[in-house]
Amino acid sequence: MQSEIPTQLRLVPAEEIPLQTIKVCSRPRLSEKEANRVPIVDQIFHCLIMGVLGFAVYWVASHFLMQSVQVEGRSMVPTLQPTENYFLNRWIYSLRDPQPNDIIVLKDPQDKVWEVKRIIATAGESVYIKKGAVYVDGQPLKESYLSPGTKTYAAETADEFICCGENQYYVLGDNRGISRDSRYFGPVRREEIVGKLIH
């Protein structure tokens, strides 16, 4: 039986290990003027991209999120003043339903212009206008936002009684003497409400 020959190791000094040479190609360094030079076509392209993105952001924000609006007319005095600017929250009713006392922007059911009114009653609630007062579900409506002594009268009859159907809202202007509201065109539908006014 042959005896096993032990493996022998020899320490080699580092300077005896051959080094592999790697060739690296280097580009000539550009001058500062050349490095800062951007082709005019690239500048125009970047400006166009930024313009399109800016317009897209503005369009989405103004149609679905928030929009600045100016009040015309005096149907919401004293709460809102003519020519004053307010923000219109267009997305809030995607998160919740319109509530009583919300000041909203709506499309007039008859002539389709934007109007600003206050929600008085919602779906399933009744509105009774009698002798200058407003009753919702038989209870007197507390309206501290009206000017002192303001009376509310029906449009064509001495008294008015109406029930809001599904997805319907009864709206009134705070300046009851001149406001054209649900007393004239009836309850508004949910799809006619544009958003909630922030004041």
Q: For the segment 18-27, what is each residue's pLDDT rounded down to a tens digit? A: 555 545 455 5
Count other Cβ atoms within 10 Å, centred on residue 174. 22
Check residue 20 and give its pLDDT: 54
Active-site residue, from 62, 75, 107, 144: 75
In which band, very low, low, confident or very high, does the pLDDT at 47 lie, cut at 50, 70 and 90?
A: confident
Check residue 70 and give its pLDDT: 92
In which band, very low, low, confident or very high, does the pLDDT at 112 lie, cut at 50, 70 and 90?
A: confident
Check residue 162 and give its pLDDT: 96
Distance CA 71, CA 53 (A): 30
Q: Is the pLDDT of residue 11 over 80?
A: no
Question: Is 147 a residue of the active site?
Answer: no
Query: What pTM was estimated for this model as a whole?
Result: 0.69
Check residue 158 and give its pLDDT: 81
Domain termination site, one of 24, 42, 65: 65
Residue 111 domain flag: yes
Domain, as residue range, for 93 = 68-198
pLDDT in tens, 59-102: 555 555 678 899 999 999 999 999 999 999 999 999 999 999 99
pLDDT in tens, 180-197: 999 999 999 999 999 999
Question: Is 75 a residue of the active site?
Answer: yes
Active-site residue, from 117, 179, 182, 196: 117
Residue 83 domain flag: yes
Check residue 9 and give its pLDDT: 47
Q: 75 with 53, same domain?
A: no
Check residue 12 and give its pLDDT: 46
Check residue 177 and give its pLDDT: 94
Nearest to residue 129, comparing CAs of 153, 156, 145, 150? 153
Mean pLDDT, all residues of the chain: 83
Q: 162 with 80, same domain?
A: yes
Structural domains of the chain, count: 2
Check residue 58 and give its pLDDT: 57
Residue 37 domain flag: yes
> For 108, how many CA atoms within 13 A lie in the half-sphere containing its CB?
14
% of the chain residues with pLDDT over 70: 75
Residue 11 domain flag: no
pLDDT in tens, 142-152: 999 999 999 99
For the ranges 42-56, 77-91, 116-130, the lowest mean pLDDT is seen at: 42-56
Residue 104 domain flag: yes
